Structure 1
Amino acid sequence: MVEFQHLIDLNDLSVEQWNEIIQLALKIKANEKAYSEVCKHKILATLFYEPSTRTQMSFQTAMLRLGGQIIGFDNPQNSSVSKGENLMDTIRIVSGYADILAMRHPIEGAAKAAAIYAGCPVINAGDGGHLHPTQTLTDLVTLQSEKGALSGLTIGLCGDLKYGRTVHSLIKALSMYPNNKFVLISTKELSVPQYIKDWLNSHNCACQECYSLAEAIPQLDVLYMTRIQKERFASQEEYERQKNVYILDMEKLFHAKQDLCILHPLPRVDEIDLNVDKDPRAIYFKQAVNGVYARMALIMTLLQSNGTKRAPISHHCAHISCNNPNCITNHETYLEKSYKENGDLLVCEYCDERQLI
């Protein structure tokens, strides 16, 4: 039995626990009807503070296919948030109505904060440009199904690596499997944040940064495309400079391996040419369907866990403010600020922002 209560960051769990959930997802996929009443009389609350299609609907579909029910909102303006209610109070109230809670929020560290006050398991369905662990579970289920293994792969990640929370979560997860190599394909402006580089260095992962998708693609076993996220940019002009830099088309794909797996967390804009959809190496629509099975397995695991609630914050440091303006502690100011030491740096326990001691 996996013993934990919240899923805030996939790396809160061990690789063995990930593998249990992945194998359960594949069992559900093979015989979905056998699990149709596992969550009968259970309620999932979906709190989506920013727009979502796949993540929200796949959570809802997962719970309904398990025989459970759903409540929640997909627009904070249709909730008491529009009246000024803080996150703490919303979580306290809604977790009293539900057995499990999935939350998407534009502010980094919001899921971590929610877990402090929740009376039920909390699943991070994406927090700002920080993390997206259930998308990563979806990616791992897909790669296990398609490749048969999660090790010994050369993984290219292309596009928005700075704000792409799916990228950050996937790098952290696949770095835990042996002999994986990462090729980070982006402009200088959209390269991965320093905490991800620190993570790769601390785990001795082979990694190279590259500015050309065409040059990188022949060596790849996996290509993880991402859209340039307009909503994360400070200005329209900055977005326009970046949006069409990387486009996967059939000309580039001609030079790729025949067993390449092309993934994308979706939605796409124009970073994958529509003609690529016809290529059997394009598995991003299979990937989206696998998200239902991944989330079914996760919901089951959390609801069946008998583990003790884990304290999500442990190193209080009230007199220091986080340097990240999009950190939840700079928006919900009642939260106790907390940092871990990493050499001569302090690391915010909510958003992973680094700053000098």
Structure 2
Amino acid sequence: MLTGKHLIEPCDFKLEELDDIFRLADKIIANPTNYLDICKGKLLASLFYEPSTRTRFSFEAAMLRLGGQIIGFDDPGNSSTSKGESLSDTIRTVACYADITVIRHPKEGTAKLASNYAGTMPVINAGDGGHQHPTQTLTDLLTIRRLKGSFTDHVVGLCGDLKFGRTIHSLVKALKRYHNIKFIFISPDELTIPQYIKDELSNISYTETNDLSSVIDQLDILYMTRVQRERFVSEYEYQRLKDYFILDKEKLGKAKDDMIIMHPLPRVNEIAKEVDDDPRGVYFQQAKFGMYVRMALIIKLLGVEGNQ
């Protein structure tokens, strides 16, 4: 049972619990009208201390499509944070009103800290700095499950900003629990995968390279990410690295016909617009799957599955 639990990191849930979420997401995709009022009378608090489009919209769309309602903010300047209120006091206050809360924050560890003050209200981490982004991972896993059929026996290429990319960090931590997964980390030397992530891959096959073209023919899944301007102290360093990888039709000529191209979005320059017409580019499907998997997650954490 997931009722009342927090989701702070992707490994907070057992594989069996993840499977339950994905099976429910499948049911929602097949018959969304069956779930229109399942969260009627429930409130989701949406606390976004950092800009977001897809994550915030998908959570809000998920709750509204389930018949629930939303309170919250998308700019801390519009909250009592601007008056100096502590996070602990904000969360304690929100817990007086909401049944479940989603928080995004630029500082690592904030979601975990929030969960310590939430009481019985489930807290969902919608991204904390360069640390973790577990609901994007649920989105990614559902995409892989539906488009590749399983989580096993895949060569997964992760390309771009692997140093600060919280979606990358979360996905690696989640996928390493499945059978026969091989990772190829593709990044500039300045943006390589953190050592603490590699330390968790002692029994997992992985290689590192700074050349996408040399490995693209091996990949079953290519997960592209942008170089994140907001994580850089130096504008010069950002400008120097932002176009290091650009996936275009020429590079795709070497790829497998059934490879899928994923991206957490927003995209900047790292995937050429011409790739959008290639059936292997599934990143907009991926965004839609994000709404469905968040609908399933909300249902599970609120314990209302038997209400439909």
Fold shared, TM-score > 0.5 on shorter chain: yes
Q: What aligned pairs does 1:81-120 form with structure 2 within 5 A after superposition?
A: 81-119=81-119, 120=121
SS in 2 for 1:215: coil
Partner residue in 1 for 2:29: 29
Contact 1:58 1:295 in 2 (8 A): yes
**Alignment partner, residue 229 of structure 2:** 230
1:207 counterpart SS class = strand
Question: RMSD value over aligned CA atoms?
Answer: 1.1
Tell me, in whole angstroms, the C-alpha distance in 2 between the residues paired with 1:278 and 1:95.
Answer: 45
Q: For residues 110-132 of structure 1, what are the alpha-carbon distances to aligned partners after superposition, in whole Å with 9 as ceiling and x for unaligned?
A: 00000000130000000000000
Give the counterpart letter for 1:157 in structure 2. Answer: L
Unmatched 5+ residue regions in structure 1? 307-357
Query: Secondary structure of the residue that 2:103 maps to in structure 1?
Result: strand
- Find out whether 1:48 has 2:52 as its counterpart: no
Partner of 1:139: 140
Could you tell me which amino acid in structure 1 is paired with residue 237 of structure 2?
Answer: E
Secondary structure (helix, strand or coil) at the match of 1:140 reads: helix
Partner of 1:310: none
- Cα displacement string for residues 57-116 of structure 1 (whole angstroms, at most 9, x for unaligned residues): 000000000000000000000110001111111111012110000000000000000000
Structure 1 residue 3 displacement after superposition: 5.3
Partner of 1:349: none
TM-score under structure 1 normalisation? 0.84
| CA deviation map 1:148-189 (0-9, x unaligned) | 101100000000000000000000001000001000000111
Structure 2 residue aligned with 1:176: 177
- Give ranges in structure 2 of 5+ residues lacking alignment: none
Show the 5 A alignment for 1:51-90: 51-90=51-90
Mapping for residues 1-357 of structure 1, pairs under 5 Å: 1-2=1-2, 5-119=5-119, 120-201=121-202, 204-304=203-303
**Quick one: distance in 1 between partners of 2:136 and 2:59?**
11
TM-score normalised according to structure 2 size: 0.97
Q: Which amino acid aligns with 1:24?
A: L
**Would you say the 8 A contact 2:186–2:211 is kept in 1?**
yes
Conserved? CA contact 2:39–2:304, under 8 Å: no
Secondary structure of the equivalent of 1:237? Answer: helix
Distance (Å, rounded) in 2 between the aligned partners of 1:93 and 1:294 = 28
Matching residue's letter, 1:195 = Y
How many Å separate the matches in 2 of 1:9 and 1:300? 18
* Structure 2 Cα separation of the partners of residues 38 and 198 of structure 1: 42
Aligned residue type for 2:7 = L
Displacement after TM superposition at 1:305 (Å): 8.0
SS at match of 1:126: strand
Alignment length (residue pairs): 304
Which amino acid in the other structure matches residue 70 of structure 2? I
| Distance in 2 (alpha carbons) for counterparts of 1:291 and 1:72 | 20
- Quote the Cα distance in structure 1 between the aligned partners of 2:276 and 2:199: 35
Give the whole-Å Cα distance in 1 for the aligned partners of 2:24 and 2:133: 20
- The answer on whether the counterparts of 1:5 and 1:305 sit within 8 Å (CA) in structure 2 is no
* Aligned mates of 1:214, 1:145 — CA distance in 2: 27
Q: Is the 8 A contact 2:38 2:304 kept in 1?
A: no
Is the contact made by 1:2 and 1:305 (CA closer than 8 Å) also made in structure 2? no
1:2 is displaced (CA, Å) by 3.3
Contact 2:45 2:72 in 1 (8 A): yes
Q: Percent identity, aligned pairs only?
A: 60
Q: Does the Cα contact within 8 Å between 1:129 and 1:163 map onto a contact in 2?
A: yes
Secondary structure at the counterpart of residue 215 of structure 2: helix
Q: Aligned partners of 2:255 and 2:285: how far apart in 1?
A: 20
- State the one-letter code of the partner of 2:83: K
The aligned amino acid for 1:96 is C
Output the amino acid matched with 2:41.
H
Against the structure 1 CA distance between its residues 5 and 59, is the aligned structure 2 distance closer, same or farther, given a 3 Å change threshold? same
